[in-house]
Chain A
Amino acid sequence: MSKAWRFGDDVDTDVIIPARYLNQPSPEHLAAHCMEDVDVHFAQEVQPGDVIVGGKNFGCGSSREHAPLAIKAAGVQVVIAESFARIFYRNSLNIGLPILECPEAVQGIQPGDDVSVNLETGEIQNTTRGIGYQALPFPPFMQELIKAGGLIAYVKGRKKNA
C-alpha cells in the first residue's frame, strides 16, 4: 500500500526541510525533519513507498538539494504535482527522486488514498477510487538523464563516449 500525502500549492523548500536542519546534510537527519513545519506527523508516519501529492509550483524557493534528498530519504517513492519549481525539478532528476507532473491526479487524489505508479510509463492508479491518470511525459533529454541514473552518471557516460 502506497499512501498519498496531500499538500497544497507553492510548497517551498523551507518547509520541506527548514534551514535550521541544514547544518547536517546526512540523509537520516534530513528525513527526520522533512515537512515538519507543515505537517508534524509526516516524518514519523511516512512509510517507504508512500507518495507526496502537491499542487502548483512544488519545491519553490531555495536551491537546497537537501529538499529532494530529505523527501527521498524519508522513503517517498514519487512526488506528483500540478507543476514544479525549476530548481527543485532539476535537483530531483539529478539526485534520482522520481517526480511526475499530472494536474488530473492532483485533482483526483485525496489524503490517504492508495496510489500506485508506473514510473516508466507515467501511469498513476488511484486504487482507492479506481481511477487512472496519465502524467505528462518527460522531454527526451530528461528521459536520458533519468535512465542514466542522475546527472553525475550521465555526464560521466558522455565524457567517456566523447
Chain B
Amino acid sequence: MGMTITEKILADHAGLKEVTPGQLITAKLDLALANDITGPVAIQEFAKFGLGKVWDPAKVALVPDHFTPNKDIASAELSKSLRLFAREQKIVHYWEQGRVGIEHCLLPEQGVTLPGDVIIGADSHTCTYGALGAFATGVGSTDLAAGLATGEAWFRVPESLKFIFKGQNFQPWVGGKDLILYIIGKIGVDGARYKAMEFAGEGISALSMDNRFTICNMAIEAGAKNGIIPPDDKTLTYVKERAQRPFKVYESDFDAQYAKLYEFNVSDIPLQVAFPHLPENAKAVEEARGIKLDQVVIGSCTNGRLEDLRIAAGILRGKSVHPEIRLIVIPGTQNIYKQAIKEGLIDAFIDAGAVVSTPTCGPCLGGYMGILAKGERALSTTNRNFVGRMGHPESEVYLSGPAVAAASAVKGEIVHPQEVA
C-alpha cells in the first residue's frame, strides 16, 4: 500500500519500512528548537535527566525572538538563561539579538530546516517547515527536553488530509494567507485535529516559497499535527543555496491513503478576513468592509517575509497611513529587513507614517511593541485572534494577508485593496 509523504518521513526516521496511521513510533530528530519563552522551561526539565550534555549541539536551535530585545527584567532573565545554556552547550544554531529573527522565518532562511527532516519545536508554529517537505510539529517544553536528551521523540502516526488547489487563476491580491484562512473557515479550528494536512495541486505549485510557509504555518490553527507540501523545483531552488548538510526529498505515493480529500478552485477563493476570536471565523473581505480600526500589524512568522513586505509597500507607497491608525511593520529577519531597505520598502513604510521595528514576535502574542487597550481593534497579518491575544481581553484582532492590511491602514477601516490601490 502506498504511503503519504508524512508517513514516509516518519517511517524512515523510525527505522521502519512502513508505518500506518495510529501507530506509535519513536523517531530520530534532525532538529529540536525552542525560543526565549519555552526554552528556559525546557532547560529546567532537561536538567532533570542529569546528563549534562544535549544529544547533539549541531541539531539544536535556540531562538530568542518573543520578548526580545528584552521588554522587562523578567524577560531579560529568560533570555539570559537561554544564552548561558547555548554557550555552555556550544549550541551551533543560536543567534544573539541583532542577528536573530522570528524563528520560523529565520531557520528556513539560514538553511537549518531542510526537506525530509523530522523537527520538533517548543513552539506551535513549528509546522511552518512543512513547506519545505519536512515533518515538523510543535511540542511542549518537556517533550523538547526529552528530545534534547535523547535525540528522539514519540509520535502517533497521523492520518492525512489532502487539500488540492485546482487552477492558477488567483483573484487579484489573493495569496497563501487567504488559502489557509479559507480552509480553516471551512473545516474549523479542530478540523484537522491530530492529523497531517497535505497541500497539493496546481494552485500550490504556482505559489512562491514565502506563500507556502504562510500556509503551513497556520496548519496548527486547524488543530493539525503538521502541514506539508511535497518539494518541487521551487523548493529545491530555495534550499540548494542554503543547505549545509545533505537532505532527502520525499513525495506521496499515487496510491497513498487519505482520511479525506478536499478540492478547491483557487479562482473561487476571495481575499479573506478572520473575525474575532477564532481563525475559523474567516469571511470574504467584503463582509468586513467598513470595520473601523485602531492598529494594523504587518509581520510575524505568518506574513513577515519579503514578499509580504513588497505587497504592503506596493500599496502604501506614495500614500499616508490614516491619521487615526498606528501601523506597525516588523520584518521577520535581519536579511529580510536589509533587503527591504535596499528595495526602498522601508522608505515607503516610514514615508507613509508607519512604525518599523527590528525583527521580533512583539505584538503578535501580545508581548510588547503594540499592545491594544480596552476596546481597541487591530487588523493583523499574524495567525491568532484569540481573546486578549494582542492586549486587553476586551480588545479585538482581525486577521488578513498583507494586501488587505496595508490598504486598511490607509483607509482606517477594513477595505479591499482595490479601493485604495
Contacts and interface: CB of A to CB of B under 8 A. Distances in A.
A binds B: yes
Interface of A: 10, 12, 14-15, 18-20, 22-25, 36-38, 56-57, 60-66, 68, 83, 85-87, 90-91, 94-95, 139, 141, 150-152, 155-156, 159
Among B24, B71, B139, which residue has the most Cβ atoms of chain A within 10 A? Answer: B139
Contacts of A19: 37, 66, 365-367, 389
B225 interface: yes
A68 B143 CA distance: 14
B75 A23 contact: yes
A139 B157 CA distance: 14
Contacts of A15: 386-388
A94 to B, nearest CB: 4
Given A15-B388, A23-B74, A65-B41, A87 B190 contact: no
25 contacts: A10-B189, A12-B384, A14-B365, A15-B386, A15-B387, A18-B366, A20-B367, A25-B40, A37-B393, A56-B190, A57-B193, A60-B190, A63-B123, A63-B139, A64-B37, A64-B140, A65-B38, A65-B141, A66-B41, A85-B193, A85-B223, A87-B138, A90-B140, A152-B48, A152-B142
Given A63-B139, A95-B142, A25 B366 contact: no
Interface string B199-234: 000000000000000000000100101000000000
B109 interface: no
B150 A155 contact: yes
B388 A152 contact: no
Contacts of B122: 63, 65
Nearest to B72: A23
A1 B228 CA distance: 47
Contacts of A56: 190
A111 to B, nearest CB: 19
B323 to A, nearest CB: 29
A57 B189 contact: yes
Contacts of A90: 139-140, 143
A83 B193 contact: yes
B333 interface: no
B65 to A, nearest CB: 13
Interface residues of B, number: 49
Interface in B379-421: 384, 386-389, 393
B146 A23 contact: no
Nearest to A56: B190
B142 A150 contact: yes
B316 interface: no
Contacts of B225: 86
Given A19-B366, A60-B190, A152-B45, A86 B386 contact: no
B124 interface: yes
Given A10-B189, A18-B366, A61 B143 contact: no
Interface in B116-155: 121-124, 126, 138-143, 145-146, 149-150, 154
B194 interface: yes
Contacts of A94: 140, 142-143
Among B24, B140, B150, B365, which residue has the most Cβ atoms of chain A within 10 A? Answer: B140
Given A56-B190, A86-B193, A151-B142, A38 B387 contact: yes
A20 B38 CA distance: 14
B165 interface: no
Interface string B53-75: 00000000000001100011011
Given A14-B387, A20-B367, A152 B124 contact: no
Nearest to A36: B393
B388 A14 contact: yes
B41 A151 contact: no
A20 B150 CA distance: 32
Contacts of B40: 25
Contacts of A85: 190, 193, 223
A26 to B, nearest CB: 10
B386 A14 contact: yes
A94 B384 CA distance: 25
Contact of A64 (B38, B72, B154): B38
Nearest to A89: B194
Given A23-B67, A87-B139, A155-B149, A18 B45 contact: no
Contacts of A18: 366, 388, 393
A156 to B, nearest CB: 7
Contact of A60 (B45, B142, B150, B223): B223
A26 B45 CA distance: 13
A67 B363 CA distance: 20
A151 B146 contact: yes
Contact of A155 (B74, B146, B193): B146
Contacts of A83: 190, 193
Interface string B63-98: 000110001101100100000000000000000000
A10 B278 contact: yes
B247 interface: no
Contacts of B138: 63, 87
